[in-house]
Structure 1
Amino acid sequence: MRKLITLFLVVLIMTACKTEAKKEVTKEAPQEQETKKENNFPAELTEVFEKHGGLDAWRKARVLKFKVNGQEHTTDLPTRKAVVKGENFSLGYDGKEVWLNPKDSTAAKMNPEFYYNLYFYFYAMPFVLADDGIVYSETAPLEFEGVKYPGLKISYEANVGVSPDDNYYLYFDPNTKQMAWLGYTVTYFSKKPSEQFNIIRYNDWENVNGLLLPKSITWFKKDENGVPLEPARDPIVFEEASITEVPLADDFYSKPKAE
């Protein structure tokens, strides 16, 4: 009888060990899949990220600030909460909804949902092209002044963001792998795919806490084939840029209370 009890206990312990081992494997598998998904970028795009400081440094960052056109833009990078403050207006995103200060007449003329992260996306290139829900594909190179810039087309899965039909075209220097041009479409207002795209030159960069970010960007005119011709306007200049790993208080991104 003692032998039977001993045998039963051995089998019970072995079964428990096997069950525990299965549990451990189950826990580890999703992590491996998640790592694969996060790093599943085209090789060329990975090289561009590395040239600009690397995704590891970008993902460690928490708060990005800069000024443009006299406005202060602040974004919490993991959540994309944001606040834009100008001389006569303020608006932002608190993680649930976009808000604007009801007392500001200037803000009322804007579309806050469209505007609150508009300059952030232009400024945070190329790193925002590592966001979830992106589909990468090949596109023809862009040629300017005798140089052919290889490119990638960036589109979005259905129901990603407020404008999933937007397309971006990233072009980079063939030798340095540094970002050089950005083509983009705007579908927010029409809610329909568009073949009409704008083109921006990125050729003025600065090191911001280890990340290479634009100091200025310039919209260009283009011909009927999409080839850049000449600047369409003066450059947009970004100033007082900073990146920190320390988050701001949640209420910083909240709508101001009415007085």
Structure 2
Amino acid sequence: MKKVLLLLIIVIAVSCKNEAKKDSKKEVIVTSKKENFPDELGKVFDTHGGIKAWRNAQVLSFNKGKEVHTSDLHSRKIVINTPKYSLGFDGKEVWLDEDVKGTYKGNPVFYYNLYFYFYAMPFVLADDGITYEKTDNLIFEGTNYPGYKISYASDKGTSPDDNYIIYYNPKTYQMEWLAYTVTFRSKSPSEKYKYIRYNKWENVNGIILPKEITWYKEDENKKLSATTKVVEFSLPLISQGKLADSFFEKPVK
């Protein structure tokens, strides 16, 4: 409860300071050469609010159903609060706190930052330790979406062999698709990609963040079709206010 109240204070403060902004077209600017990503991705980041605004933000929060995900964008500490359990990463280890033992059925180490990565697209693809490689276009319903493959240094994260491919609209530079591999369990590289279409976006204090994403499946002819897996995000918050380290620690009982 204490963590929820602390986050609520930040939400109220930000809401008072920043009134909701309507989506508007942005002039694409050239990314600074100090940043270590291709200029085309720089234009994608600019379309979504700009890498400078993302670097200046401290806290990101969103709801996925009954789950409240809150992240420190610099330390990457995370807490997921639900009515029956909480889990998170305190900077050193992943923890799980359940009202009734056995309530949570998943793997906390795999899950704690999974939706943070999906939600913080495309900006997480500007993290340190990333290698960029131009890929073939993704073709869907007659549109060619240019793409970049993202791979990680061996010392980054719990699954450094995971790869991502971001595909963007060639006219607007808005992110449209994400392809990704899952190597958490196998611990070995994979060429089998899963696909997410970023259907809807919303303006959150000047940063364009996803509102809805849909998984697609690929058949033997490389044709993509929508699945029934759709995730909606709500109550978004991005703030320059910093949370105390204790917010991300396992509750003491």
TM bucket normalised to smaller: 0.7 to 0.9
% same residue: 55
Structure with the greater alpha carbon radius of gyration: 1
Distance (whole Å) between structure 2 residues aligned to residue 234 and residue 113 of structure 1 = 22
**Structure 2 partner of 1:248:** 243
Indicate whether 1:56 and 2:52 are aligned: yes
How far 1:223 moved relative to its partner?
1.8
Indicate whether 1:155 and 2:151 are aligned: yes
Distance (whole Å) between structure 2 residues aligned to residue 252 and residue 136 of structure 1 = 34
Distance (whole Å) between structure 2 residues aligned to residue 156 and residue 172 of structure 1 = 20
**Structure 2 partner of 1:215:** 211
Map of 1:104-253 to 2, 5 A cutoff?
104-106=100-102, 108-229=104-225, 231-253=226-248
Q: Secondary structure at the match of 2:52?
A: helix
Corresponding residue pairs, total = 222
Q: Secondary structure at the match of 1:72?
A: strand
In the alignment, residue 240 of structure 2 is paired with which amino acid?
Answer: E
Normalization by structure 2: what TM-score? 0.84
Distance (whole Å) between structure 2 residues aligned to residue 120 and residue 206 of structure 1 = 16
Q: Secondary structure at the match of 1:105?
A: coil
**Structure 1 partner of 2:10:** none
Relative contact order, higher structure (CA 8 A, sep 6+): 2
Query: CA, structure 1 residues 106+49, in 2 after alignment: closer, same or farther (shift >3 Å)?
Result: farther
Distance (whole Å) between structure 1 residues aligned to residue 131 and residue 106 of structure 2 = 30
Q: Secondary structure at the match of 1:121?
A: helix
Q: Secondary structure at the match of 2:220?
A: coil
In the alignment, residue 76 of structure 2 is paired with which amino acid?
Answer: R
1:89 and 1:106 in contact (8 A); partners too: no
Distance (whole Å) between structure 2 residues aligned to residue 178 and residue 106 of structure 1 = 41
- From the two aligned structures, give the one with the greater helix fraction: 1
Distance (whole Å) between structure 1 residues aligned to residue 208 and residue 142 of structure 2 = 25
User: Runs of 5+ in structure 2 lacking a partner?
Assistant: 1-31
1:90 and 1:107 in contact (8 A); partners too: no
After the TM superposition, which parts of structure 1 deviate over 6 Å for at least 4 consecutive aligned residues?
none
How far 1:163 moved relative to its partner?
0.5
Distance (whole Å) between structure 2 residues aligned to residue 108 and residue 204 of structure 1 = 29
Distance (whole Å) between structure 1 residues aligned to residue 64 and residue 118 of structure 2 = 11
Normalization by structure 1: what TM-score? 0.82
Distance (whole Å) between structure 2 residues aligned to residue 194 and residue 60 of structure 1 = 34
What whole-Å deviation, never above 9, does each CA across 1:50-86 have from its counterpart, x for those lacking one? Answer: 0000000001101101000210000010001110011
**Structure 2 partner of 1:41:** 37
Q: Secondary structure at the match of 1:235?
A: strand
How far 1:138 moved relative to its partner?
1.1
Distance (whole Å) between structure 2 residues aligned to residue 176 and residue 58 of structure 1 = 19
Query: CA, structure 1 residues 46+159, in 2 after alignment: closer, same or farther (shift >3 Å)?
Result: same
**Structure 2 partner of 1:30:** none
Distance (whole Å) between structure 1 residues aligned to residue 75 and residue 102 of structure 2 = 27
Query: CA, structure 1 residues 104+138, in 2 after alignment: closer, same or farther (shift >3 Å)?
Result: farther
Q: Let me know the Cα RMSD of the aligned residues.
A: 1.4
**Structure 1 partner of 2:18:** none
What whole-Å deviation, never above 9, does each CA across 1:84-143 have from its counterpart, x for those lacking one? Answer: 011211000111111111544355422111111111000000000001111000111001
